[in-house]
Chains A and B, each alone.
Chain A
Amino acid sequence: MRLYYKYLLILFKSQMQYRTSFWLLSVGQFFIPLTIFAGLYLLFERFGQIKGWQFFEVALCFAIIHMAFSLSECFARGFDQFSSLVIKGEFDRLLVRPRSTFVQVLGSKFEFIKFGRLLQSIIVLVWALSNLPIEWTSIKAITLMLMIVSGVLIFTGIYMLAATMCFWTVQGLEVANIFTDGGREMAQYPLNIYQKWVARFFTYVIPFGTVNYLPLMYILGKTQGNGIIYLLTPIAGGLFILPCFLFWQFGVRHYRSTGS
């Protein structure tokens, strides 16, 4: 953990070397999702609702997913940009150091400019929450936290899967964008507005549904029954990262036996 913090520090210093472009890019990261949010707002202004969901309910969903996405982009960028590490042969360097590859890859890159995006999603979150008549309980508050954490874990898991693919091929990795950028785009609306097969895929294969649908229903009071079960769904979703981690380990082993 201390090492991770050190990595953070050194990369922050690096990015501060280019201060103007740092601030401009941060501002950009603030505004780009803002136009998407503006689009969402305008659509609600015209249509009023989407399959029974009101604007602020969807805004809450939007904020949670974008928050999770920006956090994972900020902190797990090392995996997202892993292909360049492999192409340049820098991965060998990580292997001759006495630390786990996971921490080192994680520490190889941070994008602090993504804080702009994070800030934007926090503002949307506060705005949405202050306009929703939610009866807050501690379980609901914890659920909300877990939704964000679990979202970060899912996005990170996808980055790891894509990074592991680099050990076999570095071509066509953009497909992973379907699940990261595409997943974000899709998950900013509650999952049940989509066709069944999409909803199923994104619940059981890549468990976005456990972040943006089931617990969301609970927080908004659209469900009956035990809250604990809904509290558990984001935790289940977060477990997604475990197989990704194993796959990563497998990839490293493959790399070390082929050296390709």
Chain B
Amino acid sequence: MKVYGSVLKLRLSMGMQYRAAALAGVATQFFWGFITIMVFEAFYEYAVQTPPISLREIISYIWLQQAFLVFITMWFRDNELFELITSGNIAYELCRPCELYGFWYAKLLAQRLSSAILRCFPILFVSFLLPKPYNMTLPPSLTTFLLFLSALLLGLFLLVAISMFLYISVFITMSPAGSLLVFSILGEFFAGLIIPVPLMPTWLQKIANVLPFRWTADFPFRVYSGHIPQNEAMIGILIQLGYLLVLVLLGRFALNRVIRKVVVQGG
């Protein structure tokens, strides 16, 4: 556990080195959020029937999405790891006295956490101060907020577990391009990053509900605004836990398999 802690610490201080980049990122995301909200605003203005999610809820959905972008996007990746795998230098990693899955998981988690910490607070802070109707609103109750926090964290854990498969697949394909493509296109679409899941047609929503992606982003953001009521949120968190357990076990199994192959082949 201590190893993981120091990995996180190192990452944080490295992240601090790139303050300017982080600030620029924040500005970009802000602009992005604004544009998206305005588009939805325009759509909602002339909506014929009442949409299944209110504009208010959409707005907090979008700000949360911008603030925690690095928690939820697939393209946020570690090129070092890719290189390690494709160049065969993986042998060095195997010499480390800890289990590879846990070590990489911690590394990836730390990367996302450290960039998110730098970015989420300024975005959240400003988004609360914005003039109506663009401002972010508080969650309806403290319980909702606590549920949101746990859902968000579990979502992050889940996402890192999903992204581990990306790295595992590189062992087989030897090029990250293909897997990255599938993961980022399908993953981001079904996580509700392009349009919120409730606005999708019913048949797509059914698909989204079966896949794990939606539980990393769409679910916690809607818990926040109260669009998903508390009792449903509790069930959702259980589903998240289930997914997490299954994916971590599967990932671990798969990683050990591919590594054994590498070792047998002599690297």
Q: Are B51 and A46 in contact (CB under 8 A)?
A: yes
Q: Does B189 contact A (CB under 8 A)?
A: yes
Q: Does B195 contact A (CB under 8 A)?
A: yes
Bound-state Cα–Cα, A27 to B64, Å? 30
- Chain B nearest CB from A21 CB (Å) reads 5
Query: Which of B20, B21, B199 interacts with A43 by CB under 8 Å?
Result: B199
Q: Are B28 and A172 in contact (CB under 8 A)?
A: no
Q: Does B102 contact A (CB under 8 A)?
A: no
Bound-state Cα–Cα, A221 to B151, Å? 50
Q: Does A135 contact B (CB under 8 A)?
A: no
Binding-face segment, A66-74, A84-92, A189-197: A189-197
Query: Which of A46, A47, A175 interacts with B28 by CB under 8 Å?
Result: A175
Query: Which of B34, B36, B43 interacts with A50 by CB under 8 Å?
Result: B43
Query: Which of A35, A51, A175, A189 interacts with B188 by CB under 8 Å?
Result: A35
Binding-face segment, A122-130, A176-184, A229-237: A176-184
Bound-state Cα–Cα, A4 to B194, Å? 37
With contacts A172-B20, A174-B24 taken as known, whether A193 is within 8 angstroms of B181 at the C-beta atoms is no
- Chain A nearest CB from B122 CB (Å) reads 14
Q: Are A32 and B28 in contact (CB under 8 A)?
A: no
Query: Which of B31, B39, B199 interacts with A46 by CB under 8 Å?
Result: B199
Residues of A within 8 A of B201 (CB): 42, 45-46
Bound-state Cα–Cα, A42 to B39, Å? 14
Q: Are B25 and A174 in contact (CB under 8 A)?
A: yes
Residues of A within 8 A of B35 (CB): 182, 185-186, 194, 198
Q: Are B199 and A42 in contact (CB under 8 A)?
A: yes
Residues of B16-52 at the interface with A, using a CB-CB cut-off of 8 Å, are: 20-21, 23-25, 27-28, 31-32, 34-36, 38-39, 42-48, 51
